[in-house]
Amino acid sequence: MKFHPISCMTKLAASLVIFFGLCFSTVGALAGDEINLNTASSFKLMKIDYVSRSLARAIVNHRDTHGPFKHPRDLLKVRGLTPELFKRINPERDAQGNLVSRSLARSDGNNSMAIPNY
């Protein structure tokens, strides 16, 4: 069997494209599975497990009044947010330093519904 350098290069290039495509699609999926607590609307905050409409509004109101949360424990200053809820929300810093929660409720599959931003 004869060695064909172009054929090998084509296979290598295709393999690299597939590899990097999988890597970047995974990173994108992981980034979508978190909610930034300093920028999310109350509707988006309600996607966090155990966050009710009233708590989401309280988080947004506190953030609008006092500025962005600088530390995860700052969330405990929000009226209605108990230490138990704080543990369930599990706020943490992501790689970019944003305060996020990855404790998302399971989706009902109807993400296209338009709901106003409170």
pLDDT 10s digits, 68-90: 999 999 999 999 999 999 999 99
Q: How far apart are CA 30 and CA 36, in angstroms?
A: 13
The total of structural domains in the chain comes to 2
- The whole-chain average pLDDT of the chain stands at 78
Coil, helix or strand at residue 101: strand
What residue numbers bound the domain in which 18 lies?
1-31
pTM for the predicted model, two decimal places: 0.64
Binned at pLDDT 50, 70 and 90, residue 55 comes out as very high
User: Do residues 16 and 46 share a domain?
Assistant: no
Q: Which amino acid is at 29?
A: A
Q: Is residue 71 in a domain?
A: yes
**Pairing relationship of beta strands 92-93 and 35-36 according to DSSP bridges:** unpaired
Q: Is residue 9 in a domain?
A: yes
